[in-house]
Amino acid sequence: MFERHKGGDSAVLVCLDFGEPDYRDGVDEFVQLVESAGVTPLHIVEGKRARPDPAYFAGSGKAQEIAEVVRAHEAPLVIFNHQLSPAQERNLERVMQCRVIDRTTLILDIFAQRARTAEGKLQVELAQLAHIQTRLIRGWTHLERQKGGIGLRGPGETQLETDRRLIGIRVKRLKDQLATVQKQRATQRRARMRRGQFTVSIVGYTNAGKSTLFNALTKARIYAADQLFATLDTTSRKLFLDAEHSLVLSDTVGFIRSLPHTLVAAFRATLEETIEADLLLHVVDVNHPLRDAQVDAVNEVLQEIGAERIPQLMVWNKIDLKGGEPAVLLNEYGKIQAVRLSAMRGNGLDLLRSALVDLMSQPSEDN
């Protein structure tokens, strides 16, 4: 592997406990998220709070503590596992004397690194601009001023207004470009529908094994890796189940807890494939300590994009890690509910294929 970490970013991480029952697992997920962005964690500052502090999010005492850790490590960056307001970021940067970013910016950075298709890139830039727009007032003025740089008073009001206007123009252009791409996709989808193609979208939490399953079923070679948000763009392939049955299968971007709404909105174009699917394969890492929270998070996003009514077939993946548990098809009240399988080892894929044939043959309940 190439060493992207070398000379890359490093950061002090901040994760505060607001009494969530699965706080510890959330910390682990945060570290994984940071590493997925290619950033080396230097130290994690933790703490307990009843509610966020309006000025510093962490409270001023905690902010001082973080600042000391930053100094000790000479850290160039602090990452909060929370959403910060622009004012909180500004106040924290003043205390830390370094850049402070929140969870949304971190996720957006990962997305920016991963986007491959024109559409993916457009969507990431749009989401980034939406996030930046609220933070534009900040600039670097307060840091510069404290260092006593003469004439470094930062952008004046007029400059800011120009920036805002330019961003507005860029946002408009990006939206137009996206609309064009979306139109092309819609045309493709309509053509598929005319041909009576059954469409299935693989959804699930990031790192659940969606791409691995997609590759195993379609013999494709989508990048699958033990990192969060390995996949950003939707890929579709035709999948032949038997002599009479075929469908169009799509692999999609993974979901994560507390995904900001703006981000979900920005990814609408990619997720449109999901919104119009006949069936969702909801892939879950059966061994993950946050499994249930992950399932809920995925269902929440599905609701947000208007896909909550689409029938789901649950895929409990990675059973190979559970010490030789057999692959099974779970039925309840004569209806197929879930498949337990291992996408990596390939056991249970035959069960999934036959379940798909069954589900395709069933008349849908809405009609």
Ligand X SMILES: Nc1nc2c(ncn2[C@@H]2O[C@H](COP(=O)(O)OP(=O)(O)OP(=O)(O)O)[C@@H](O)[C@H]2O)c(=O)[nH]1
Of residues 33 and 269, the one with the C-beta less far from ligand X: 33
Distance CA 315, CA 29 (A): 21
Does residue 201 interact with ligand X by CB under 6 A?
A: no
Distance CA 172, CA 333 (A): 51
Of residues 104 and 207, the one with the C-beta less far from ligand X: 207
Site for ligand X (CB under 6 A): which residue of 104, 123, 207, 270?
207
Nearest residue to ligand X on Cβ basis: 254
Distance CA 138, CA 132 (A): 10
The answer to whether 256 and 181 are in contact (CB under 8 A) is: no
Distance CA 284, CA 295 (A): 7
Of residues 137 and 344, the one with the C-beta less far from ligand X: 344
The answer to whether 201 and 252 are in contact (CB under 8 A) is: yes
Chosen from Mg ion, ligand X, none, partner binding at 236 (C-beta under 5 to 8 Å by type): none
Site residues (vs Mg ion, CB under 5 A): 210-211, 230-231
Does residue 270 interact with ligand X by CB under 6 A?
A: no
SS3 346: coil
Q: Least distance from C-beta 309 to Mg ion, angstroms?
A: 24
The answer to whether 225 and 203 are in contact (CB under 8 A) is: no
Q: Please report, to the nearest 10 degrees, the dihedral formed by the alpha carbons of residues 31, 322, 226, 47 taken in order.
A: -10
Nearest CA-CA partner of 137 in 89, 201, 185, 190:
89
Of residues 125 and 233, the one with the C-beta less far from Mg ion: 233
Of residues 231 and 236, the one with the C-beta less far from ligand X: 231
Does residue 224 interact with ligand X by CB under 6 A?
A: yes
Q: Applying CB under 6 A, which part among 123-131, 155-163, 205-213, 239-247 lies near ligand X?
A: 205-213
Q: Least distance from C-beta 232 to ligand X, angstroms?
A: 8
Residues that bind ligand X (CB under 6 A): 204, 206-212, 224-226, 228-231, 254, 317-318, 320-321, 342-344
